[in-house]
Amino acid sequence: MTTHGLLTGLKVLDFSLWQPGHYATQLLADLGADVLKVEPPGGDRMRVMPDRFVNFNGNKRSVVLDLKRDEDRARALELAGEADVVVEGYRPGVAERLGVGYSQLSAINPALVYCSISGFGQVGPLAAATGHDVNYQAYAGALLPAGAAAPVVSNVLIADEGSGMSAAFAILAGVLGARRTGEGDHIDVSMTDVVASWVAPMGSIDQARGETGETIAAPAMGTFAVSDGFVVLGVYTEDHLWDAMCRALGLEAHVGLDVAQRTQDAVALRDELTAALGRESRDELVARLSAVEVPIAPVLTRDEMLDHPHFWSRGLFSTGPDGGRALGHPVRFSKHPALPPGRPPELDQHSPQGFGSDGPSGHAR
């Protein structure tokens, strides 16, 4: 492994206290950025959730600053003058009141890329509203599938994770621009905007509705119950995949139906397919249909996913410094791989050092 990450030399000052900012800066730290967490007295709010904290704060540094005290605020301004990037996740207006807003820090460092992550953005009618991930999903139209009797809440913190990754992408775009022009930027990431931008393009095609009111765009798309769990099929417009599935399931009478015919008869076909799949066992069915290249996936529990060999083989999970399972960087690089999972910093471990040439916790990069 190279001793220098793709982002070695990038200095990131992180004021965020919640998962979106943590994830954004973790993605940067994985690639070699020097991320300095600014924590309030008593520590980051997520330190009381060690499983989550360790997975979003490895390979970072920590300093404790009370931004309500003049001397600590002065130290924050000094660090911002050294930084390439600042990330904050306060409610709109709070950073300014604490003296570390964009206008205040960019006056010191005009090339600074300053990223604000909030639930509804820095401006707009909802900017001051409070919320958590599920609230942002609700506003974004992500909780209510067509025909559903009640909202369906995912186990995934979609707004948190999506905004963190979007912020990391935007930060790097800002850094490229700043290095080309000498001028930084204020990036405004709205968690709700990110989810809404994913929901909005999902327009409808000619659709049929089943007895429950469920919208059926394609009879072999969606979740199906099997004898010992659930599977998801992904046969959409592809005629050859439909035919392969029908042959594998003993539904030869429906081989040869094109997408228009399948759409027209979607309700009846879905009912027949549901009955056929209900007699199958999950893992045997997945193996049989996968062998003929039909898009099928088991609906895994979280524990099943965490133990799946695919993710371990790719390095998404590995054995961490404490001997337990650790979460790795989600993207692979062939020449400049991400750093392996590292320990989170002890509270205030790097004060008064701040940024430095060695890696977090004293490990050389």
- Mean pLDDT score, 239-244: 95
- CB of 137 within 8 A of CB of 189? no
Do 138 and 239 reside in the same domain of the chain?
no
Is 160 catalytic? The answer is: yes
Domain shared by 116 and 155, yes or no: yes
- Kindly state whether residues 54 and 175 are assigned to the same domain: yes
| CA separation, residue 82 to residues 13, 34, 106, 184 (Å) | 9, 12, 12, 13
Phi, psi of 232 (to 5 degrees): -120, 125
User: How confident is the model at residue 209, as a pLDDT?
Assistant: 46
pLDDT (mean) for 287-297? 92
Domain boundary among 282, 301, 320: 301
- Within this chain, do residues 19 and 130 fall inside the same structural domain, yes or no? yes
**Is 74 part of a structural domain of the chain?**
yes
Strands 215-216 and 34-39: unpaired
Q: For residue 222, which amino acid is it?
A: G
298: tokens are: 């088991």
| Helix (H) or strand (E) run with residue 218 in it | none
The residue count of the chain comes to 365
- Mean pLDDT, the chain, whole residue set: 87
Please give the average per-residue pLDDT across 95-107, as a whole number. Answer: 97
Top mean-pLDDT range of 145-149, 155-159, 276-280, 302-306: 276-280
Residue 365 has a pLDDT of: 28
Domain that holds residue 72: 11-199+308-362
Residue 144 pLDDT class (50, 70, 90 cuts)? confident
Tokens of 173: 């775009």
- 234, part of any domain: yes
Asked if 168 and 27 count as a contact pair (C-beta separation under 8 A), the reply is: yes
Q: What percent of the chain has pLDDT over 70?
A: 89
- Residue 213: pLDDT band by 50, 70, 90 thresholds? very low
Which one is catalytic: 160, 188, 193, 243? 160
Residue 95 sits in a domain whose CATH number is 3.40.50.10540
pTM, to two decimals: 0.78
The pLDDT of residue 148 is 60
Residue 122 has pLDDT above 90, yes or no: yes
Instruction: Say what the pLDDT of residue 68 is.
Output: 96
Would you say residue 208 lies in a domain? Answer: no
Q: Is residue 4 part of a domain?
A: no
Q: What is the pLDDT of residues 313-357, one digit of tens each?
A: 878 788 877 788 888 777 676 567 778 888 888 898 998 778 875
Q: Is residue 204's pLDDT more than 80?
A: no
What integer pLDDT is reported at residue 299 of this predicted model? 86
Q: What is the pLDDT of residue 150?
A: 76
Residue 349 included in any domain: yes
Select from 276, 271, 267, 280 the least CA-distant residue to 230.
Answer: 280
The confidence band for 146, taking pLDDT boundaries of 50, 70 and 90, is low
Domain count, the chain: 2
Tell me how far apart the alpha carbons of residues 313 and 325 are, in angstroms, rounded to a whole number. 13
Tell me what pLDDT residue 316 has. Answer: 79
- Are 230 and 337 found together in one domain? no
Residue 149 pLDDT: 64
Full DSSP string of 94-158 = HHHHTT-SHHHHHHH-TT-EEEEEESS-SSSTTTT----HHHHHHHTT-S--TT-SS----SS-H
Q: What is the mean pLDDT of residues 134-150?
A: 78
When pLDDT is cut at 50, 70 and 90, the band that residue 83 belongs to is very high
Separation CA 339–CA 331 (nearest Å) = 11
Q: What is the pLDDT of residue 216?
A: 60
Strands of 229-234's sheet in order across: 221-226, 229-234, 296-298
Q: Do 299 and 320 touch, CB atoms closer than 8 A?
A: no
Strands (E), the chain: 11-14, 34-39, 61-64, 85-88, 113-118, 185-190, 208-209, 215-216, 221-226, 229-234, 296-298, 317-319, 325-327
CA 73, 19, 58, 346 dihedral sign is: positive
- Asked which of 301, 321, 345 is the last residue of a domain, the reply is 301
- Rounded distance, CA 45 to CA 76, Å? 19
Amino acid (one-letter) located at 296: I
Give the mean model confidence (pLDDT) for residues 273-284. 96
Find the CATH number of the domain harbouring 266. Answer: 3.30.1540.10
Short-list 17, 39, 23, 29, CA closest to 59: 29
352, amino acid identity? P
Domain end marker among 301, 320, 339? 301
pLDDT at 147: 61
Instruction: Give the C-alpha separation, 335 to 333, whole Å.
Output: 6
